[in-house]
Amino acid sequence: MFEDYVQPIVDFARVHEAWAAPVVFALAFMESLAFISLLVPAWGALVLIGTLIAAGDLSFWPVWIAGSVGAALGDWLSYWVGLKLEYRVQHIWPLSKHPDLIPRGEQFIKKWGAIGIFIGRFSGPLRASVPLIAGIFEMPFWRFQIANFTSAFVWAGVLLTLGDVVTKLIALVWH
């Protein structure tokens, strides 16, 4: 299933290099957007697109910037939804199925603050919910955005570089 979803995206990026950055932007945006991230686990595609960068098929900089900005904007939108809907968001699926998530998220944000945005970026279950909860509990805008954009650039860089590193390790092992 995972390969059926990811491989066509990676193949498209390989064949249509000009579309690689917009594809990565869309994947990172959906991966970071509350609710949608559950349906679009894009991190695997980003790692595999990193292998294309390692092979020299794609340029790192535009893909990295697109992934970073896409991830940051997805979190920004999730934060805004939290600000606007506040506690009403707990009645929307999937939060409606897990009523303990909002109180646990509140504890997480209160404990970690802006660093929690950074931590959440690197944890699948937290990635899209932490910004939503930061919005619900009105984390100061600039504190959120600084953590959001910083973590997005690090996250995208790590995923894309991971593909590069894995490719080089495989090459070392096989040669």
Most confident segment among 1-15, 27-41, 99-113, 137-151: 137-151
Per-residue pLDDT at 145 = 97
Q: Cα dihedral sign for 47, 82, 144, 21?
A: positive
State the average pLDDT over residues 34-61: 84
What mean pLDDT is predicted for residues 65-74?
A: 97
For residue 172, what pLDDT is reported?
A: 80
* Predicted pLDDT of residue 1: 55
Per-residue model confidence (pLDDT) at position 105:
82
Confidence of residue 96 (pLDDT cuts 50, 70, 90): confident
Q: Binning pLDDT at 50, 70 and 90, where does residue 30 land?
A: very high
Angle at the Cα of 23 (from 80 to 164), degrees rounded to 5? 110
**pLDDT score for 2:** 59
For helices 114-121 and 129-136, angle between their N-to-C axes, nearest 10 degrees: 160
pLDDT at res. 34? 85
